[in-house]
Structure 1
Amino acid sequence: MMTMETWKKNLAVLWIAQFLVMGAMNQIMPFLPLMLTKELGLSADTNVHLWTGLIFGINFLPALIFSPIWGNLADKYGRKMMILRSGFGMALTNGLMGFVQTPTEMLMLRFLNGMISGFIPASIALVSTNTPREKTGFSLGVLQSGGVAGTILGPALGGLLADAIGYRAIFWVTGGALFLSTLLVLFFVKEENKPVPKEMKGEGWRKDLAHIVSTRPLPALFATGMLVQFSLIALMPILAHYTESLIHSTTRVAFFAGLVMAATGVANMIASPFLGRLGDRIGSQKVLYISLIFAGIIMFFHAWTKELWQLILVRFLFGLSVGGLMPAVNALIRASSPEGMVSRTYGYANSATFLGNMIGPIVGGLISGWWGMSSVFIFSALVLFLNALLVHSKVMPELEKKAPGNQTVEANMRV
């Protein structure tokens, strides 16, 4: 039986590591288009935005493919080992990005970075399997808040560093931050509940996948995670331009767009631990269902904002409502995973999430082009409501079958 001190120490160290990783990775995006033109030889008439989109998005394709592979290895050799593999690997690839001479070289390194990524999923798997069951939702909520904090501060820090030390040096700073966060895990995180592969070991990915998707309600939870990411990321192509339309000016657009995004992140960071703890008490499935409904309602209000302060307000409220979504999904995946296959299950769940990340911006951009920017908010709201219906019809009944008379599946299990 693990001590309380161990899981709390793991959570604190991984919170810091998540903060460093997400802050480092997100500080790259604000200056990437500028680096392409000023450092990598793209001319002004070249489609810089296309290259930016390709370089940013290419990361998700190999991550989608390789995530189940890393999950399989984590179930055999440990989640901490996968964190170290990913952390040291990404530190190297991001450091090398500071030396590239062409956009193609940058694209290739981003592809390689996506292939060896997995720091965040492995951290989630380690926390969920090395935390007392009754604290899983709270711990995953706290862990998410660290990543969100890094996501908020990363772009601002990247913009400041670009002016102070230059574009290339930021990649070296990013590599250094990834290396430091991995060292923290190496020396201070203790994986007491290590995987003990049983009869499932060595059966191959086809049998693993068949076993996982036949375990209800995992397929529905995978779809839920994908739709959550889809509905959130679909806004990314239009949010800055929508902000610009509200301030009726072309000056300081980046600042105000960052403020709009930060409002969501701050609210998410505040709400995640609270909603995670609430999920431990009343059931993560209930928190997930109610949060999806509230998120859908608030998303509708985005389409009717007329002033900047209104958009900031609804983005903050939206951040509060979505703070419990992915922690609840991850807690339910942990509770529903076949024995000895937790990391593999998270691997397939993350592939579904990466799929949502890939197609969300594409669909959002198409809808905006066809029917205007406000239509993207309405469409995303409908997706959130559809997701709530999926949880109510496919997830909650299955959990009630597994834990009759209980409020949550987690309540049936103890470490």
Structure 2
Amino acid sequence: MERQRWKTNLTILMGGNFLVMAGMTMIVPFLSLYLKQDFDLTDEHEVGVWAGLIFAANFVTSFLFQPLWGKLSDKYGRKMMLLRSGFGMAIITTLMGFATEPWHLLALRMLNGVVAGFTPAAVSLVSATTPKQRIGFAMGTLQSGGTAGAILGPFFGGLLADSVGFRPIFYITGALLFLASAISWLLVRENFDRSAAALKKQAGLIKGLRDLLVIRQLPALLSVTFLIQFAMLSPMPLMPLYVEKLHGTTANLAFYAGFVGSVTGLSNMVCAPLLGKLSDKIGSSRILLVSLAGAGVMLIPQAFVGSVAQLLTFRFLLGCFMGGLIPTVNSLIRKHTPDDMVGRSFGFNSSALALGNMLGPVVGGALSGSIGIEGLFIYSGILLFATCAWATWALRVGRSSAAGSKT
């Protein structure tokens, strides 16, 4: 029975990941409209500035605090960090519905980034309780739950905004986060010896990072996480305008823009568990490198498409390869990290992911004036090819050094 516990944990946390991501993405696409309608902001530039600051605030504080939570999870257990994050975000998100000034939202989003970390904690817990020969499948399945939530969240948010308004969405999101946390509290099990962990001396964050960077593969994997997010998100701010250019008319424009945004997630959701299962058979490194190269191949033609249908085709194929990126990075991090440093390792990886989420759209927006969105697709594709070459070299170096240490 205990040997099957990892499957129960995976199922529950995949569902929790779905609820968290669905809840967190419900309001994001409508943030500027919320500021305009409920906060009486009339100047378009002012709305844009506030929306950008509020959106980025979560990533800034998350980038700063994720390593701390990762360190504490190695000391107090992954489940405790999971519940801390889930219940904390439930309270803060609910409070966002009571905000009366834009700076209230900004402060709450910053605070949300401080306590955030349900998904990294879930990844850490699943990786610590899953047999290593099934870790690829588990990471892919866990991601598929979050991806499904991220796809359906904006859809449900749009339906709710039309029927009940924006503020109730925050209350519903808070309830979903609370539900996911409560289910995890009651049903997720973790064999964690807190007394033994307390006896181990915990290194400071800087010392902990240095200890991790000694492991030859980890600097490469942290860099790959950052570069994946950076390359993928660079073109995203201009995607609706690109769809408008290709579509050539305002009829059903919102539908097509939303479809282009979600089709990548759909194929990602389907392919992530399949590629994860395949990685358990042929190795996570191979899947990672093929997925990086494949994603680069699928990005570049998007600069030369002549219709929305062609763009949808390449976006769908891009999502297939994306399903083999972050899950295999997580699998490799777990493979190369000592058991007593798993939480810390995933904490730093979450910071790398947050940094890519934060800088990708900013740099993409800055470059778009000179190279356009077509240039951003080419730039992002080349960046993924370079990342593939870097990962190939770094992981081979890691294997060579590991082989040398055994002889």
The alignment's TM-score, normalised by the length of structure 1, stands at: 0.94
* 1:200/1:340 contact within 8 Å kept: no
Displacement of 1:97: 0.4
| Counterpart AA for 1:37 | K
Displacement of 1:208: 1.1
Percentage identity across paired residues of the two chains: 44
| Counterpart AA for 2:286 | K
Is 1:216 matched up with 2:197?
Answer: no
Q: How many residues align?
A: 403
Is 1:82 matched up with 2:81?
Answer: yes
Is 1:28 matched up with 2:64?
Answer: no
Cα deviation, 1:70-124, whole Å, max 9, x if unaligned, reads 0011000000000100000000000000000011111000000001100000000
What CA distance in whole angstroms lies between the structure 1 residues aligned with 2:121 and 2:246?
40
- Report matched runs for 1:15-414 at 5 Å: 15-193=14-192, 196-197=196-197, 201-402=201-402
What CA distance in whole angstroms lies between the structure 1 residues aligned with 2:49 and 2:347?
29
* 2:128/2:339 contact within 8 Å kept: no
What CA distance in whole angstroms lies between the structure 2 residues aligned with 1:262 and 1:206?
38
What CA distance in whole angstroms lies between the structure 2 residues aligned with 1:218 and 1:199?
26
What CA distance in whole angstroms lies between the structure 1 residues aligned with 2:28 and 2:341?
35
Q: What SS does the aligned partner of 1:58 have?
A: helix
| Counterpart AA for 1:43 | T
Displacement of 1:193: 4.9
Cα deviation, 1:143-177, whole Å, max 9, x if unaligned, reads 00000000000001101100111110000000000
What CA distance in whole angstroms lies between the structure 2 residues aligned with 1:90 and 1:361?
24
Q: What SS does the aligned partner of 1:175 have?
A: helix
* Larger displacement relative to structure 2 (208-217 or 190-199): 190-199
* Larger displacement relative to structure 2 (104-113 or 365-374): 365-374
What CA distance in whole angstroms lies between the structure 2 residues aligned with 1:64 and 1:319?
25
Uncovered stretches (5+) of structure 1, i.e. residues with no partner: 405-415
Displacement of 1:353: 1.1
| Counterpart AA for 1:342 | V
Considering only aligned residues, what root-mean-square deviation do their CA atoms show, in Å? 1.5
Q: What SS does the aligned partner of 1:241 have?
A: helix
* Larger displacement relative to structure 2 (4-13 or 37-46): 37-46
Cα deviation, 1:6-46, whole Å, max 9, x if unaligned, reads 11110110011000000000011122111101111211444
Uncovered stretches (5+) of structure 2, i.e. residues with no partner: none
* 1:200/1:208 contact within 8 Å kept: no
Q: What SS does the aligned partner of 2:197 have?
A: coil
| Counterpart AA for 1:129 | A
* 2:75/2:198 contact within 8 Å kept: no
What is the aligned partner in structure 2 of residue 409 from structure 1?
none
Relative to its length, the structure with more helix (as a share) is 2
* 2:216/2:397 contact within 8 Å kept: no
Q: What SS does the aligned partner of 1:53 have?
A: helix
What CA distance in whole angstroms lies between the structure 2 residues aligned with 1:123 and 1:183?
14
What CA distance in whole angstroms lies between the structure 2 residues aligned with 1:61 and 1:101?
23
Cα deviation, 1:53-78, whole Å, max 9, x if unaligned, reads 11111100110010000001100000
* Larger displacement relative to structure 2 (393-402 or 190-199): 190-199
* Larger displacement relative to structure 2 (99-108 or 393-402): 393-402
